[in-house]
Amino acid sequence: MTDQDGTRRPKYQRIADELRTAIQSGDFAPGDRLPGENDLMSTYEVARMTARQALAVLRGEGLTEARKGAGVFVRSFRPLRRRGIPRLAGGGWAGGRSVWATEIEDRALVVDQIVVSEEEAGSRIAGALDLAPHDPVCVRSRRFVLDDKPVLLSVSYLSAALVRDTPITRPDTGPGGTYARLAELGHRPARFREEIRCRMPTADETDRLALPPGTPVVLIGRTAYTEPGRVVELNEMTLDASSYVLEYDFDA
């Protein structure tokens, strides 16, 4: 097998390509066990290290997961389709619905780690919120778990002077979440901006998201503005890249 440019790919990559195609075509369904190292060694007449590298490629892409003592299986987790525009529509959170409501359907979503604190703003956060350096900010740090799998780390920053002694400073902000509470305070978000980039995770992110080796993360930074243009929230999210499809649907 050769690439379009005529260069020969390493054997482990060609084996991974064939297994990936079989997974994508449905020959191996979610939850199915893939051929093990011994099977691949026999089928492709390769060394154990080559077979191991081929399976590692698929694990790194998030297509498979290793189960100790059982083998390598096609991941059964169904990626979450994040609908970037409908999820932030005011009619949803203003009506008391979560921004997740348009996406999770009947799937089980929990926030299993949440810390709310008041801290001094560093220069970066202060600049993003149009605050003076060292002004106090409310920091809401959360981990979201979907179908028993950690998928998202989220840290929101808001002016402490704006939200102090409101439900926003509590773990449960109530129906509609933070944006509904901001609207009740007279600071309804009217516009959002999201910036997206990707990188490899830190050790802490790998641990908290239970990421397979080689899995990147998607970083989404969302800024919420009121109609007059005041910044009322900065939300910095870290997503398991293998658990998401990012969808943006808008008119030309």
Q: Please write the tens of the pLDDT for every residue from 158-168.
A: 999 999 999 99
Q: What is the pLDDT of residue 5?
A: 43
pLDDT at residue 134 greater than cutoff 60: yes
Any bridge partners for residue 65, and if so which? 73
More confident residue, 69 or 222: 222
The tally of domains found in the chain comes to: 2
In a domain, 2, yes or no: no
Which CATH number do you get for residue 189? 3.40.1410.10
In a domain, 212, yes or no: yes
Confidence of residue 7 (pLDDT cuts 50, 70, 90): low
Contact criterion met (CB below 8 Å) for 117 and 137: no
Residues 110, 178 within the same domain: yes
Model pLDDT for residues 81-128, shown as the tens digit of each residue: 888 878 888 777 777 778 887 788 788 889 999 999 999 999 999 999
Residues 48, 148 within the same domain: no
Q: What is the pLDDT of residue 224?
A: 96
In a domain, 191, yes or no: yes
Residues 198, 110 within the same domain: yes
In a domain, 4, yes or no: no
In a domain, 103, yes or no: yes
Residues 193, 208 within the same domain: yes
Residues 173, 133 within the same domain: yes
pLDDT at residue 1 greater than cutoff 60: no
Residues 64, 139 within the same domain: no
Contact criterion met (CB below 8 Å) for 150 and 109: no
More confident residue, 244 or 235: 235
pLDDT at residue 207 greater than cutoff 60: yes
Backbone angles phi, psi at 108, to 5 degrees: -90, 115
Q: What is the pLDDT of residue 64?
A: 87
Q: What is the mean pLDDT of the chain?
A: 90
Residues 32, 144 within the same domain: no
Full DSSP string of the chain: -B-TTSPBPPHHHHHHHHHHHHHHHTSS-TTPBPP-HHHHHHHHT--HHHHHHHHHHHHHTTSEEEETTTEEEE--PPPEEEETTGGG-HHHHTTT--TTHHHHTT--EEEEEEEEEEEE--HHHHHHTT--TT-EEEEEEEEEEETTEEEEEEEEEEEHHHHTTSGGGSS---TTHHHHHHHHTT--EEEEEEEEEEEPPPHHHHHHTTPPTT--EEEEEEEEEETT--EEEEEEEEEEGGGEEEE-----
Residues 108 and 31: their CA atoms lie apart, in Å, by 19
**Percentage of residues in the chain having pLDDT higher than 70:** 97
Confidence of residue 6 (pLDDT cuts 50, 70, 90): very low
**Percentage of residues in the chain having pLDDT higher than 90:** 66
Residues 59, 105 within the same domain: no
Can you give the residue range of the structural domain that contains 115? 80-247
In a domain, 161, yes or no: yes
Q: What is the pLDDT of residue 242?
A: 85
Residues 155 and 236: their CA atoms lie apart, in Å, by 5
- The radius of gyration of the chain's CA atoms, rounded to the nearest angstrom, is 22
Which CATH number do you get for residue 53? 1.10.10.10
